[in-house]
Structure 1
Amino acid sequence: MSNLLNLLAAISLLVWGTQIVRTGILRVFGENLRHLLSVSMGNRFNAVVAGIGVTSLVQSSTATCLIVSSFLGRNLVPLAAALAVMLGADMGTSLMAVAFSFDLSWLSPFLIFVGVVMFTTKEKTTAGRLGRVAIGLGLMLMSLQLIGETTRPLTESPPVRALLVALPNEILLDIFVGALLTVLSYSSLAIVLLTATLASSGIVPVPVALGLVLGANIGSGLLAVITTARSPVAERRLPLGNLLFKVIGCLIAIPLLPQVMQHLPQWLQSPHQQVVLFHFGFNVMLALVFIGLTPLIARTLERLLTVPRQGEGTRPRHLDRSALQTPSLAISCAAREALHQADVVETMLRGILPVLRENDIELADRLRTMDDTVDELYTEIKLYLTQISRESLSERESRRWTDIVSFTINMEQIGDIIERVLQDIEDKKIRKDRRFSDAGMAEICHLHERLLANLRLGMSVFLDGHVRDASRLLEEKARFRDLEHEYAATHIARLQDNTAQSIETSSLHLDLISDLKRINSHICSIAYPILESAGALSPTRIRHSVLAPLDAEEPRRT
């Protein structure tokens, strides 16, 4: 019983070590890995190499799949190139299995010692996070040693030997068990290493081990499909295509297993090496067979999974819960959802002018109900961000976290203002059948046009963070304030001239230009975090040269 508990503990340590390495690498290099993938998709062969490199670091083809799927959701890469990345990603995990198959027992205590020193002395720095990665690698190597030591007495037990002899050599059952274990452990690498270690100890026969390896490959494809099940259609295509590769590969490999079992022992004596290199060879075969078919499969997937025409639905589109394990990826998901919220706000803002011109009450009602969408998205984004561990974020990611919160607050407040504006238009103009003067309507149209341009500029500033655009946006705040004062003065002049239409709509007109100015202020607030990070903001807008004489006169007045 104690041997069985020790085996379960060693297996758990292997899975946990793999998890530590994966999350640690993504926290340190998450942004750089995404950049490497995005610039390496010019052709399929570069994409395969990028997939191998990134997944060798991350040690999870599922994590790579999630990153590339996010690119597809933003239409940044073609699906064919993304499929090629996944062929390389699967080769990357198999290469890591080969690396771990060597005798690295001396490396385990060294990595754990160095990792603990780095983590405890510089916990919140990059060196501290790399220390966590080193600890994870050391734990993986130690767990493999423990599995080997624990299984040795089990293999010598007569009941266990009798059980092994009685095991049915059912390849489909072996594949099912391997896939199930991979989904439960969230790591095909851990299951392949576990299978190889059990095969070398005699616990699992080599034919059964090869079936488990095929199942582990299918399990890794299933993991990506499951984690993206609620994502947009464009993001679900890649995991499905990757799973299709693996299923077809298994269908090809199953009839060939007898020949493989006949020749494999002639090349490799160790069962451990046989299992690991079979895993590597299987993924190399997948890459060779499918690299030329990725455009065809991409077109097929695009026909099967068509992107539906979406209105301004209330359901969040980009808040992938599985990405919360990878803070840099989760931040990207939240930013995309914030832009979705801004799109809804832009639709509301754009609709103000048709309501004014055409007295369209039905349109006003539809636009007002969209404020509920804005509020719901704000709530969902806020709750999603609170689930991201702030301690795991780099300084840049932490600033981005704050920027997203500020942006969504501004969008929510703009939605509230637009809702009140539409209600005022309905109450004070449409139901009372009043009209603006031609000059007054021209002024509102001009402010509205400037406002839409500023909103688009604000969205660009939020997305790219360019200081020059942020500075332009802040300059628009002063220009808009001057226009508000100018148009308020011209409206007063029309009242003095006893213009009937201006008198009837005076209250609405002045409230409207004031509300548009408030909306513009919220839009321009997007620029402040970017300018503050760049050191481009002065401490105060008050001129000290003007304050100094006033301070000097103050004692005389008292």
Structure 2
Amino acid sequence: MLTLLNLLSGVAMLIWGTHIVRTGVLRVYGADLRRILSHSISNRLTAFASGVGVTSLVQSSNATALIVASFGAQGLIALTPALAIMLGADVGTALMARVLTFDLSWLSPLLILFGVIFFLSRKQMRAGQLGRVAIGLGLIILALQLIVAAARPMTEAAGVKVLFGSLTGDVLLDTLIGAMFAMISYSSLAAVLLTATLASSGVISLKVALCLVIGANLGSGMLAMLTSSAQNAAGRRVVFGSLIFKLIGSLLVLPFVDYGPALVDWLSDEPAQAVVNFHVAYNLIRCVACLAFTEPMSRLCLRLLQDKPELDTTMRPRHLDENALSMPSVALANAARETLRMGDLIEQMLNGLLEVIKTNDVARARETRRMDDDVDHLYTAVKMYLTRVSREDLDEADSRRWTDIISLTINLEHAGDIIERMVTDIEEKKISHKLSFSEAGLQEICDMHRRLVNNLQLGLSVFLNGDLKSAQRLMVEKESFRDLERAYSYTHLNRLAGQSVQSIETSSLHLDVISDMKRLNSLFCSTAYPVLDDAGALRKSRMRDKPKSPKSPGAAAADDVALAVAADLQQKESSNDGAEPPGHPHPVR
């Protein structure tokens, strides 16, 4: 019983080690790896090479598949180079299996020792995450030693021999078991390494080992298909084409598997080395041969997996890739891109507001109010996406960025609510009574609207680039807009004193519109505060006095916004009418 537990613990450690290495590399180099994959699509050979390189680093063809599938779903990469990257990923994971079968027992304690030291001392820095990768590599090597040690006495047990003896003779059953183990372990690399270890210990025959290896390759394709099931048709085509390539390779090789043991004996006398060499040779030959058929496979996938028309008119997130949550820097970049989409929606609502004011167009008013539902939908999606990003893995800069993104999404959502209410007021107080603003009053509103749109665009630019000069200009525009609102209020009162009929009829609405525009402008200009604060250029009179906290400024700010989001989650989700709930948090200074 103890021997069986040792074997199971060794398998679990092997799986966990590959998981640690994969997540560690993705957290440190995730953005760079995605950039390499997205830029290496000029031809099939460069795409193939990028797939080999990236998968050799993350030690998981499934992780590469998830990244490439997300690119395909977003339309960032064509299907043909994506399939070439997937073929390269299969070769990359086979090469890593070959490297890990060398005698590296002396390296395991060193990797774990120094990995733990770096990870605990510099957890929030890149060196700490590289220490995490070293721990994972050390655990993989140690796990292989434990599996060998545990499997050796098991080979002498009669019951174990009978159990593994049932795997001999049925090629399809052995292949299916190999596929199931790759799916359960979430790694074809772990399945192949375990198979090589069992073959070296004499627990399974060489023929069974070869069938398990072929099944492990097929299982990795099935796993990628399952994990990408939530993607749209474009994303699913990538993993589906890769699975078809693997299935064709299996069908071509399995009928000749009886001749496999003689072939691998020629490659190596050691069973473990022979199994891994077969794994490398099989994937290399299969992938190079399939590389010439990526274009026909693309046409087949397009025919079998067609895009379905969208029946729901609600705008859906485009950039919130669930698979990037293990890479905080990439996840934050995705959330920032989706936040910019919210900004574009707010600009469209502002343009619709002005058209409603000018033309009394009821249909345009209805469409503008509906767009607030899209803003709310994106706001909820970004908010929930950011709450799933591990805060412990964020360094100081990423923690500040997390705060900036969630703050801007809250402000943009509040801006959408304000615009929706403004349109509703115009319908009730102006359109229904067939009133109109005076020529001078309408000109003032148009002038404020133009400045408001410009400040929104400038605020989004500051949010994206963090430019100090633009942030300073934005603060100047904020003060100028405030003075303009005050001046236009006085000129409106002068028109009332002059007994202007149009001004009298729309007086309350006119003052409400320019007051709401000032509130909107304050929300748009709030993106300048973090940039000015980081540069030490924020005037003290505009900074709220807070008691000092032992936490770093970025972490403390992130905690404040997290509390605001938690309160907003409780209040916002309970209301379906899109109205602003009481106590809505607005991190505008």
Q: Normalising by structure 2, what TM-score?
A: 0.83
Residues 1:151 and 2:151 are matched in the alignment: yes
Match of 2:7, SS state, is helix
Report the residue type matching 1:239 in the other structure.
V
Match of 2:433, SS state, is coil
Aligned equivalent of 1:228: 228
Residues 1:527 and 2:538 are matched in the alignment: no
Match of 2:195, SS state, is helix
Structure 1 residues not aligned, in runs of 5+: 543-558
Flag the 1:105–1:519 CA change in 2: closer, same or farther, 3 A.
Answer: same
Flag the 1:185–1:469 CA change in 2: closer, same or farther, 3 A.
Answer: farther
Flag the 1:431–1:242 CA change in 2: closer, same or farther, 3 A.
Answer: same
Task: Give a deviation string over 1:301-331, Cα, whole Å, max 9, x none.
Answer: 4563437458652655544444333333332
Aligned residues of 2:167 and 2:174 also touching (Cα < 8 A): no
Aligned equivalent of 2:203: 203
Deviation at 1:148, TM superposition (A): 0.8
Flag the 1:524–1:147 CA change in 2: closer, same or farther, 3 A.
Answer: same
Aligned equivalent of 1:60: 60
Distance 1:254 1:294 in 2: 23
| Identity among equivalent pairs (%) | 53
Aligned equivalent of 2:280: 280
Aligned equivalent of 1:506: 507
Match of 1:167, SS state, is coil
Aligned residues of 2:210 and 2:260 also touching (Cα < 8 A): no
Alignment map for 1:13-28 (pairs within 5 Å):
13-28=13-28
Match of 1:452, SS state, is helix
Distance 1:250 1:55 in 2: 21
Distance 1:361 1:324 in 2: 42
Aligned equivalent of 2:127: 127
Higher alpha-carbon deviation: 55-64 or 482-491:
482-491
Aligned residue pairs: how many? 542
Aligned equivalent of 1:326: 327
Aligned equivalent of 1:357: 358
Flag the 1:483–1:307 CA change in 2: closer, same or farther, 3 A.
Answer: farther
Aligned equivalent of 2:435: 434
Deviation at 1:466, TM superposition (A): 4.5
Distance 1:483 1:13 in 2: 66
Aligned residues of 2:155 and 2:203 also touching (Cα < 8 A): yes
Higher alpha-carbon deviation: 432-441 or 366-375:
366-375
Deviation at 1:295, TM superposition (A): 4.2
Alignment map for 1:59-458 (pairs within 5 Å):
59-298=59-298, 300-302=300-302, 304-306=305-307, 308=309, 313=314, 316-458=317-459
Flag the 1:201–1:382 CA change in 2: closer, same or farther, 3 A.
Answer: same
Higher alpha-carbon deviation: 450-459 or 170-179:
450-459
Aligned residues of 1:227 and 1:322 also touching (Cα < 8 A): no
Distance 1:126 1:477 in 2: 38
Deviation at 1:369, TM superposition (A): 4.3
Deviation at 1:163, TM superposition (A): 3.6
Task: Give a deviation string over 1:411-434, Cα, whole Å, max 9, x none.
Answer: 111111112111211121112221
Aligned residues of 1:312 and 1:344 also touching (Cα < 8 A): no
Distance 2:397 2:312 in 1: 34
Flag the 1:86–1:130 CA change in 2: closer, same or farther, 3 A.
Answer: same
RMSD: 2.9
Aligned residues of 2:26 and 2:326 also touching (Cα < 8 A): no
Distance 1:457 1:298 in 2: 42
Aligned residues of 2:342 and 2:412 also touching (Cα < 8 A): yes
Report the residue type matching 1:229 in the other structure.
S
Flag the 1:329–1:364 CA change in 2: closer, same or farther, 3 A.
Answer: same
Aligned residues of 2:67 and 2:323 also touching (Cα < 8 A): no
Deviation at 1:87, TM superposition (A): 2.1
Distance 1:215 1:179 in 2: 4
Match of 1:335, SS state, is helix
Aligned residues of 2:7 and 2:146 also touching (Cα < 8 A): yes
Q: Normalising by structure 1, what TM-score?
A: 0.88
Distance 1:274 1:536 in 2: 65
